[in-house]
Every structure is written in structure tokens, then in C-alpha cells.
Amino acid sequence: MYAGVGFLGEQMSNTDEELLAIIQSRKPTDRVATAWDHLIEKYQPILLTYALSGRFWNGNQEAAEDTVQNAWIKIFNNINAFKQTNFAGWTYTILGNQFIDDYRKNKRVQTTFKLLPLGMQDDSRNLDFDQVERLMNRIHAEPSAEQTHLDDSETSDTRFRHMAQDFLSRSKASFFLGYQEDPNPKEGKEKTRFLRVKGELISNMIKEWVSSGRSLDTIMNPRQANVLTARFSLKRRNSEIFHDMGITNKLDLDDLISGATERLIEALSDEIPDD
Amino acid sequence: MTARRDKSPNTNGWPFRDSAMDAETTVTMNQRMIGQLLQREVQAANLPAWQSRSLIGLGIEVAQSREENTGLSLKEAGKRSGLDPAFLAIIEAGKAVPEEITSDVLKALVRGVKAKSSDLESAMSVQESSVIERTPAGQIMSALISLCQPLFLNRATAFKSMVAAPASEEDEDEGVLLDDDAAGVSYKIGGFVEGEPPALIFYEFQNPQAPLRGWHVSVRSGLQELVSGVTDDQGIFRFPSSNQDFPENAHMLIRKSI
């Protein structure tokens, strides 16, 4: 029960069910708008608190506000499909999904290079997180003296070290490593630099995979392989990929890219022997 | 609770921000955003597919630019661009409406998310032709023709090379009919000779004996009309003399005059 001022103007309480009934009836327009106002007034503080919690953005106010704002658009888009009784639970689910989307894009890299925060692992993805961490450690490892001159017969393991060497030779690599240790993503320029490094690393991973004559199609579906190649090898813009591949909505594009990236990391990490 | 009307500090200013937004709460901002989505619900549902795709493409480009070029939050990007952060979220979600994508808004986006103007235009480009309206008997009444699809670009390049080079007996490109299956019309490329601007000659599909006379033509880039006119008695639409080439990322809406 929401004990605010009623949408009819007098002091009264509106339950979620009452507000939703008006919204889903889609008329009259002014009452629908007012019902939305009530819902937002009630749930915005709750959703924002949730988004700010350690489970999600852990105090990052701007990221949390963005996630809640985007979640409201999803709630709006899907409100007519809502048939359950627990509106609050439904909004939390949407917020959680929105967080994963934003986290993948914004926090960008930690989805790729670190692990999703506790409790946010998606069951649909079967990444072995220990292996992923080992892969990342391997990539970030300083090459030893004897590994600095390697010939073509180098093993997959040493090629990773070569890649790491490549990275570490660049000035931004220090930032890359520093960023990883930061529990909160930094905003602004640092974030954009980090995203660039992420793109380069994924591009190197693709090269690593295909260098032995292997096709990306063997570890992901052809559509994912096409998207990954276009995005990170050919450096195509997301909007170009959207048009070229006839993708129907933005979320499908995000899913294709993140799913393909995860498949690649998973496959490469499988090649790393256990420590 | 404040009435919705009072929550739009500058209703006439949408989609631009004003200083009153500095102090507003996220509740107010999200209420304004949902209010805007409500107002456009019917219009958005009735947008033709090609316009929806343009708007989604633009949203993807803006989101990527904001992330990768600025790393700014919606609120920060709103401040930098001078746009309402509620509008930025709407545009990134692909839910803007065509009237909102003015040249001023595009300039603000270029400034705010450090997007390249050409990338925004390319994101909104229509890459595929399509039939928009047919009569019950199947006759084409209006169609959309992409000028950035490979079919057109390849033929236009070949045509321009041909008219630029000395004529030879092998040159038989002039007058080649392009059958745009998806649009349900055929056309030839013309112009470019002796300083003439480019031109297109429209015909019924696969029928060079049936020019489309008196059809209204609107040449657009993204959601903006660049030039418009009517085909002449031979089905020819000539670009203005200021056009030395076909515009980039463009498409044409052609409609039979009633």
C-alpha cells in the first residue's frame, strides 16, 4: 500500500494494483500519467537504494542513477505484459537485468576481465570463473627474461605472455592493471582509455584464437562470430553492425557482443593449464 | 505530490535542458521521462519500420559514443550537451521521435557525447530499400530507395567512371536499368555529364517503357529532408545544381501523386 497523496487529488492511498490497473487500461491519459508519477515517486528511492547497494554499484551514485533511469524505460516498455501480483519483485528483476547490461558495458570490462559481483552470475553462462581469472592473470603476467625472445614454435601459453608483453609495453597498460584493482570504475577519460584497452585485448584474443587456423565458428554461433569480428577485428561501429546484420533491437546487439566475448574467453581459458 | 505539469521546468525547451534541472531530483527527472514516453506512445507505435531502425541506430551510436568517447553518465552528458538527460536516455533507447532529431539536437549530441557528425548520420542511414505502400491490386504507391546500399553505390561508381572516361564501344553502362527488388521500382542513373548534377530516372519495376511520371521525391539523410521535387514526363528526378554527387548516407522516399 502506497500511503501518498492519491492520484485523484485527495488524501488517499493507492495500492500498486490500483495504479497498475489504471496504467494498463491506458485511459484516461491524464490519470495514466498521474499513476506513473505515483509509481515513480514510490519506487525510485527504493530502486536507487538497491542499485547503490554492494550487490550492485556499491556506492557509485552516477552509475546507479543511470541504471535506474534505464530500468524505468524497460519497466515502461513492458508494463502491459506485467501479469504477476508482485510489482516490486518484478521491478527488482528488471533492475537486476539492467544492471547486468550496464555492468557489461560500463564497468566496464570488469565483466570481461574480472568476475561479476557475487550473486550476479548468470546461470545461462557457464564460465569457469577460476579459469577466467587464471587466463587474465596469465595475460597480465610480466614476461620472464627468457621469454622475451620467442620464436614461432612458442606454445599457446607463451603466446599469451607475448600478448601480455605487448600490452605492458604500452603506457596505458599500467593504467589497465591499476584499474583492475580498483573496486569502483573510474569515470570520464580513464574509463574511455580503459575501454580502448579492452577492445585491443579482445582483438588480440581473436588473433590468438584464429592464429592456429581455428575459426571462431567452432566456439560460438556464426552470428556471434560475425559480430565479434566486425566489432573488435574490423573495428566497426555498433550502429553499423546493427544495420549490416539486420539486428532488430539494441539489446540483441549487446547480447551478441557480450555472449561472443564470453565464449572466446571461455575457450581461451580452457587452454590454460591449472596452476 | 506536485502535478506533472509543474515538473517540466521548460516545456517549450524539450529536449533541451535548463538550469532548473540542476536542482531537480531523479524522481522528477524520471517522471518527466516517462511522461514524454507516454505522450509519444501512439506515434512511436505507428512509425514506419525504416524510421524506427534509424532511431534505434542513432541510439546505439549515441550510447557507444557516450561510453567510449566521454565515459560520462547521462546526467553529465546532459550538462555537456545542453540536452535533457531524460531525453538522452530516450534517444539511447531508440525511443526518440523524428521531429526531435533536429540539426540543433544533432549538434548538441556531437558536443555532448563527442560523437562524429558523420557517425551519427551513418547510424541513421537507411541501408535497405522497401515498399511502403501498395494498392490492393499490388501497384506500388510509395517506396523507399536506399542510396547507400551496395547495389546503388556500385552502379553509381561505375556510371561516374564511365561518363568521366572517353567513350568506347565497350561502354554499355549508360542506361543500365537497376531493378530494386525491395523497393519494387527500377531506375537508371543519369547526369554527371558536362557539369550536370546527378539524376535518377524512375520506371515501373523492370519496365523501362513505363517511367514514373509526376512522382514526388524526397531525398533524405537520416531523418532530415535534403531536397525534394517531382519527376518529369520522362520519370527524371534531377538533383539541384549545387549537388555534384549523390549525398552520402541518403535515401529517397518516392510517392505517386494522387
C-alpha span between B200 and B168 (Å, rounded)? 23
From chain B, the residues in CB contact with A242 under 8 A are 56-57, 60, 123
Q: Test B68 with A195 for CB contact under 8 angstroms.
A: yes
pLDDT over 70 at A4, yes or no: no
What's the first-to-final CA gap in chain A, in angstroms? 55
User: CB-based burial of residue A179 (10 Å sphere; 0-12 exposed, 13-18 middle, 19+ buried)?
Assistant: buried
**Scanning every residue of chain A, which has its alpha carbon at the shortest distance from the alpha carbon of B124?**
A239
For residue range A251-268, what is the model confidence (pLDDT) as tens digits?
Answer: 788 888 888 887 887 777
Name which residue leads in pLDDT, B73 or A11.
Answer: B73
Chain B residue numbers touching A188 (CB-CB < 8 A) = 70-72
Q: Rounded to an integer, what distance in angstroms lies between the CA atom of residue B258 and that of residue B243?
A: 28
Q: Closest to B71 (Cβ–Cβ): which among A48, A189, A237?
A: A189
Give me the pLDDT at residue A191, please: 64
Q: What is the DSSP letter of A3?
A: -
Q: What does each C-alpha distance from A241 to A116, B123, B156 come to in angstroms?
A: 26, 10, 24
Per the model's pLDDT, the better-predicted residue between A171 and B60 turns out to be B60
The residues pairing with B143 across neighbouring beta strands, listed in sequence order, are B131, B254
Fill in the DSSP letter of residue A236: -
What pLDDT score was predicted for residue A122?
39
Residues of A with Cβ-Cβ distance to B35 under 8 angstroms = 33, 36-37
Which residues in chain B are contacts of A25 at CB distance < 8 A? none
Would you give the DSSP letter of residue A147?
Answer: G
**Average pLDDT of A131-143?**
49
How much is the pLDDT for A117? 32
Contacts of B92 in chain A (CB under 8 A): 70
Residue of A nearest to B74 (CA): A66
A54 confidence band (pLDDT: 50, 70, 90) = confident
Q: Which residue of B has its CA nearest to A70?
A: B89
Rounded CA gap, B26 and A48, in Å? 9
Mean pLDDT for the stretch of residues A26-52: 92
Return the number of other C-beta atoms located less than 10 Å from residue B144's C-beta: 24
Residue A1 has pLDDT above 50, yes or no: no
Using the structure block, give the residue that is written with the C-alpha cell 553518465.
B73
- As a whole-number percent, the residues of chain A with pLDDT over 90 amount to 29
Q: Is A270 on the interface with B (CB under 8 A)?
A: no
pLDDT by residue for chain B (258 residues), tens digit each? 433 444 444 435 899 999 888 889 999 999 999 999 999 998 988 998 889 999 999 999 999 999 888 888 999 999 999 999 999 999 999 999 999 999 899 999 999 999 999 999 999 999 889 999 999 999 999 999 999 888 899 888 888 888 776 555 554 545 688 999 999 999 999 888 877 899 999 999 999 999 999 999 999 988 888 999 999 999 999 999 888 889 988 999 999 987
Eight-state DSSP code of residue A231 = I
Does residue A37 belong to the interface with chain B, where contact is any CB pair within 8 Å?
yes
Average pLDDT on A108-119 reads 34
| pLDDT on residue A104 | 65
**What's the pLDDT band for A5 if we cut at 50, 70, 90?**
very low
Rounded distance, CA A251 to CA B62, Å? 15
Q: Which residue of B has its CA nearest to A11?
A: B1
Reduce the DSSP state of residue A155 to 3 states and report it. Answer: coil
Q: How far apart are CA B105 and CA B99, in angstroms?
A: 10
Average pLDDT over residues A134-154: 44
Region A203-211: what's the mean pLDDT?
A: 84
Q: What does the pLDDT read at residue A119?
A: 32
What 8-state DSSP symbol labels residue A2? Answer: B
Asked if the Cβ–Cβ distance from A69 to B53 is below 8 Å, we say no
**For the segment A79-91, what is each residue's pLDDT rounded down to a tens digit?**
999 987 789 999 9
Q: What is the pLDDT of residue B228?
A: 95
Does residue A105 carry a pLDDT above 70? no
Q: What DSSP designation does A183 have?
A: S
Q: How far is B250 from chain A (nearest CA, A)?
A: 14
At A126, the pLDDT band (50, 70, 90 cuts) reads: very low
Residue A192 is given by DSSP the state H
Q: Identify the H or E element spanning A221.
A: none
A244 near B CB under 8 A: yes
The cell for A261 is 566475448
C-alpha cell at B151: 547495389
Q: Mutate one of B68, B149, B249 to test the A interface: name it (highest A CB count within 10 A).
A: B68
For residues B40 and B52, give the distance between their C-alpha atoms in angstroms, rounded to a whole number.
13
**Average pLDDT for chain A:** 70
| B144, B252 Cβ separation under 8 angstroms | yes
3-state secondary structure chain B: CCCHHHHCCCHHHCCECCHHHHHCCHHHHHHHHHHHHHHCHHHHHCCCHHHHHHHHHHHHHHHHHHHHHHCCCHHHHHHHHCECHHHHHHHHCCCCCHHHCCHHHHHHHHHHCCCCHHHHHHHHCCCCCEEEEECCCCCEEEEEEECCCHHHHHHHHHHHHHHHCCCCCCCCCCCCCEEECCCCEEEEEECCCCCCCCEEEEEECCEEEEECCCEEEEEEECCEEEEEEECCCCCEEECCCCCCCCCCCEEEEEEECC
Q: What is the pLDDT of residue A143?
A: 40
Record: contact B4-A189, CB cut-off 8 A: no
Kindly identify which residue of chain A lies nearest to residue B30, measuring between CA atoms: A69
A103 vs B199, higher pLDDT? B199
Query: Which chain A residues have a beta carbon less than 8 Å from that of B76?
Result: 62, 187
Interface residues from chain B to A (CB-CB < 8 Å)? 1, 4, 26-27, 29-31, 33-35, 37-38, 53, 56-61, 63-64, 67-76, 85-86, 89-90, 92-95, 119, 122-123, 125, 127
In this prediction the pTM is 0.75
Contacts of A250 in chain B (CB under 8 A): 56, 59-60, 63, 93-94
Complete DSSP assignment for A48-113: HHHHHSTTTTTT-HHHHHHHHHHHHHHHHHHGGG--SS-HHHHHHHHHHHHHHHHHHHHTTTHHHH
Tell me which of A41-55, A194-208, B166-180 is least confident.
B166-180
Chain B residue with the nearest C-alpha to that of A199: B68
Residue A201: pLDDT band (50, 70, 90) is confident
Residue A73: the pLDDT is 96
Beta-carbon separation of A250 and B56 below 8 A: yes
